[in-house]
């Protein structure tokens, strides 16, 4: 088994599923009906992408674990999502800022994965990119509207950016997994995404009249550990809710 590829598939699958779960928490609590529906649709897209990554991971592993087993029967330290996506929703500004920063990274990553030498990775990336392109456009629009809105909304978005920024650098850190996959032509080095991502994010945040943190703060002050199974306590509570039914009634079907 290609262990590096298995780890990477879990990393991508876990990140999209965890973010999907976070977004789903807005159901019934959105600030407006249109926003609630938009967030729910984004959550559905992400869980669909997560299923594809985890299905491929299970097939590669060859131990009979499907996407449901991988999603619902692993504990916190066996999840490899990035820390950014497990953060609590906070207010709607916090959620939109997290979404914008992640969507922008996700978009540039998927574009590169569409060039993968692995046909399975390439196929999933091509399918996901169509949805993520829309996600990125929508979250970009929301950040600009809220950042350049009222004085209150501007302050909320500036604080949301300040709070989220320390979690950004982890998305661009390379380890043995990404280095090995880059050598095989399967995935890019994540650090190679940084300049294009920062240029895009800087442009959008400037349009939103927000003060943009420095590049250096993005790396040197970054929290890290998610892809190694080290998480904040927030993930434990999220998984407890997400996995409850399967844990309480093993093997349950509708």
| pLDDT of 33 | 75
| pLDDT of 215 | 75
Residue of 112, 83, 108, 111 whose CA lies nearest to 98:
83
| pLDDT of 216 | 73
| pLDDT of 219 | 63
CA 208 to each of CA 42, 135, 136, 157, 183: distance values in angstroms, whole numbers, following the listed order: 22, 18, 15, 9, 39
Count other C-beta atoms under 10 Å from residue 122's C-beta.
15
Q: Tell me the mean pLDDT per 10 residues along the chain, length 254.
A: 95 98 90 83 97 98 94 96 97 97 98 98 98 97 96 97 95 96 98 96 97 76 88 96 91 76
| pLDDT of 221 | 67
Q: Please answer whether residues 55 and 70 qualify as being in contact, where contact means their C-beta atoms are separated by less than 8 angstroms.
A: no
Can you give the residue ranges of every domain in the chain? 3-248
Radius of gyration over every alpha carbon of the chain, rounded to an integer in angstroms: 18
Residues composing the chain: 254
pTM equals 0.95
Residue of 194, 197, 191 whose CA lies nearest to 178:
191
| pLDDT of 220 | 63
| pLDDT of 128 | 98
Architecture of domain 3-248: Up-down Bundle (1.20)
């Amino acid at each position: 088994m290609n262990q590096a590829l298995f780890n990477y598939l879990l990393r991508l699958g876990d990140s999209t599923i965890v973010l999907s779960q976070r977004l789903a928490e807005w159901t019934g609590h959105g600030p407006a009906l249109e926003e609630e529906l938009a967030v729910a649709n984004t959550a559905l897209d992400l869980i669909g992408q997560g299923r594809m990554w985890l299905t491929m991971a299970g097939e590669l592993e060859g131990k009979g674990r499907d996407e449901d087993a991988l999603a619902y029967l692993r504990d916190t330290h066996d999840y490899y999502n990035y820390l950014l996506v497990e953060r609590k929703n906070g207010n709607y500004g916090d959620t939109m800022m997290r979404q914008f920063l992640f969507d922008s990274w996700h978009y540039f990553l998927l574009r590169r994965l569409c060039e993968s030498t692995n046909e399975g990775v390439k196929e999933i990336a091509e399918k996901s990119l169509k949805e993520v392109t829309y996600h990125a456009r929508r979250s970009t629009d929301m950040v600009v509207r809220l950042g350049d809105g009222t004085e209150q909304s501007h302050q909320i978005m500036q604080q949301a950016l300040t709070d989220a920024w320390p979690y950004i650098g982890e998305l661009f850190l390379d380890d043995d997994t990404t280095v090995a996959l880059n050598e095989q032509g399967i995935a890019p080095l994540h650090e190679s995404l940084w300049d294009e991502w920062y240029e895009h994010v800087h442009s959008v945040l400037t349009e939103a009249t927000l003060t943009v943190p420095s590049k250096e703060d993005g790396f040197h002050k970054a929290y890290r550990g998610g892809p190694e199974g080290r998480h904040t306590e927030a993930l434990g509570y999220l998984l407890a809710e997400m996995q409850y039914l399967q844990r309480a009634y093993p093997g349950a079907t509708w």
